[in-house]
Amino acid sequence: MKKIFYSLLIIILSVSCSIDVEESGSSGSNDGSATSPVELTVGTAKSGSVAYASNSFYKFTTSSTGDGNYKLDVASLAITDSWSSSNSVLAYLYSNSSYSSSYLLEYDSCLASCKMVFDYEDNLNASTTYYLKIYGYGNATYSLTVSKGGSEGSKNNPVELTDNETYTSGTVEGYYYGGQSYYKFETGGAADNYTVTMTNSNSLYGWLYSGSDFTSLVDYWSAETTVSETLGNYGGSTSGLSANTTYYLEIEPSGTSIADAKTTTYSIKIAAEGN
């Protein structure tokens, strides 16, 4: 009987310990749900929280002129009962309200208060709703602010450049593997050699494409602060650019890691030779 009593006592104590851990981990609170996310306004801070090993759900809508990259500022981050020593919260960005992995654009994490730059390669589109999920490694509270980043244009809506005019307000933010700005320009009525000239505050790469999907490479240049390049000579071609054709330009920072991420400003001019 004593052996049975001690065995039952051990089982009861084990169950009690399990219940204590569960209660401790469930003391936080979540915001929103997958079917009813909390709305964030771009540029406005909003207090929030997430429970231990659980998720909070948010959404935000970009402005009508908001093509480019975006940032998530996670401020006043405080956490208890975390099961991780390297992360406190994990943010997922989606393009669809299903919060399905099929629509996952990117994700990032932070241990303390931080600023995440959403450097999704295609950039975010204007007047579009995106969906944010915050996972908590413990019971966390924070303040969230979504803001417009320093990159401009997107693959779906590149900034239009005018032939033979200098565009002086160019800007791109990020690093080589995350952070691009997108442009397009149209050539004149005759095939010709075109040049691109740029003056940059930091070294930038340039990639010229013949299609709006930014996959058919026509020319490129390596990281430089001052650019003067003849376009259309990629692969030994000497024919220049075709007449009455729209070309697409991707500008990319040269930093090799997230620690190198910065905002670069520049001027850019596309012109037919002789102009």
Quick one: 165 and 116 in the same domain?
no
Burial label, 174 (beta-carbon count in 10 A; 0-12, 13-18, 19+): buried
Do 115 and 101 meet the contact criterion of CB atoms below 8 Å apart?
Answer: no
Quick one: 202 and 249 in the same domain?
yes
pLDDT attached to residue 3? 36
Domain end among 151, 185, 214: 151
Q: Which sign, positive or negative, has the C-alpha torsion 81, 146, 124, 164?
A: negative
Quick one: 77 and 116 in the same domain?
yes
**Global confidence as pTM:** 0.74
Segment 128-158, tens digit of pLDDT? 999 999 999 999 999 999 998 889 999 889 9
pLDDT attached to residue 10? 40
Domain end among 151, 181, 204: 151
Give the count of domains, the chain.
Answer: 2
Torsion over CA of 206, 207, 211 and 212, rounded to 10 degrees? -50
Looking at the DSSP bridge assignments, the partners of residue 170 are 266
- Domain extent for 106: 38-151
Quick one: 96 and 199 in the same domain?
no
Quick one: 140 and 167 in the same domain?
no
**HSE (CB half, 13 Å, CA atoms) of 54?**
21
Do 124 and 152 meet the contact criterion of CB atoms below 8 Å apart?
Answer: no
Closest CA to 163 of 57, 249, 77: 249
> Per the domain annotation, does 30 fall within a domain?
no
Q: Which sign, positive or negative, has the C-alpha torsion 12, 13, 17, 18?
A: negative
> Per the domain annotation, does 6 fall within a domain?
no
Amino acid at 54: S
> Per the domain annotation, does 176 fall within a domain?
yes
Of 15-19, 196-200, 240-244, the range with the highest mean pLDDT is 196-200
Domain end among 136, 151, 166: 151
CATH number at residue 102: 2.60.120.380
Quick one: 180 and 237 in the same domain?
yes
Instruction: Return the higher-pLDDT residue of 135 and 67.
Output: 135
